[in-house]
Amino acid sequence: EIVMTQSPVTLSVSPGERATLSCRASQSVSSNLAWYQQKPGQAPRLLIYGASTRATGIPARFSGSGSGTEFTLTISSLRSEDFAVYYCQQYNNWPPITFGQGTRLEIK
Amino acid sequence: EVQLVESGGGLVQPGGSLRLSCAVSGFTVTTYRMSWVRQAPGKGLEWVSYISYSSNTIDYADSVKGRFTISIDNAKNSLYLQMNSLRAEDTAVYYCARHSVNVLPFDYWGQGTLVTVSS
């Protein structure tokens, strides 16, 4: 099973600033990596797949990068609606499909 | 418009059973790969089970293998999860999710249904 580790657990950033979230895989997942956003009481929403491709309707301020074992989600200029929990997910070696434990992005 | 609506959650005693349903609209359930994903209270996401287009391939997380069964009803355009021998650690919100075309990530999710296993 591939273990996904996200860092930091909590990230405090001011609106308008840049946020950088990290995700590390225990072995290579190539570019088969997705990012999701989840707000309280809501289902997750797909942001990025293929490590760097934005899903339909996702604003350009969200970008993903990386391959192999190291990945980054960057939100270029934070808006109030971006404060949420973010999960990475690998789908290279499955089952099982595995998620990171999440990064909580909070307002500083 | 694509919609996934789960139902069937509730309070059940340890060792009991529940059947979750996911009614889909806006697409035909047999033309997409589908999964169940759960989230324990205050915790992260855990993939539970997967079913392929024609139900030829079915997979389960080790934590539920032998206790849960995923299925599809073409006539009702619905996905199901039969959960037997429930344990306290199965307590979670259960989401049905659609895998996007040609890639595996989940592009649509239901709103979730809460399963609580407690005496």
Residue pairs spanning A and B at CB distance below 8 A = 60
DSSP codes, B73-107: ETTTTEEEEEE-S--GGG-EEEEEEEEPTTS-SEE
Locus of tokens 């929403």: A45
- How far, rounded to the nearest angstrom, does the alpha carbon of residue A9 sit from its chain's CA centroid? 12
pLDDT at residue number B38: 98
Position B55 scores a pLDDT of 87
Site of tokens 């909590």: A10
What's the rounded Cα separation, in Å, for the pair B39 and B62?
Answer: 16
Distance CA(A78)–CA(B102), nearest Å, equals: 31
Instruction: List the pLDDT tens digit at each of the 119 positions of chain B.
Output: 999 999 999 999 999 999 999 999 999 999 999 999 999 999 999 999 999 988 889 999 999 999 999 999 999 999 999 999 999 999 999 999 999 887 789 999 999 999 999 99
- Written as six digits, the tokens of B88 are 């306290």
- pLDDT of A6-41, one tens digit each? 999 999 999 999 999 999 999 999 999 999 999 999
Q: Measured between CA atoms, how close is A90 to chain B, in angstroms? A: 9
Which residues on chain A are in Cβ contact (under 8 Å) with B104? 32, 34, 91, 94, 97
State the Cα–Cα distance between residues A37 and B7, nearest whole angstrom.
Answer: 23
How many whole angstroms separate alpha carbon A72 and alpha carbon A35? Answer: 9
Q: Tokens standing for A108?
A: 């500083």
Q: State how far the Cα of B97 lies from the Cα of A71, in Å rounded to an integer.
A: 24
Distance from CA of B20 to the nearest CA of A (A): 17
Average pLDDT score over residue span A90-102: 95
Is B104 within 8 Å of chain A by CB? yes
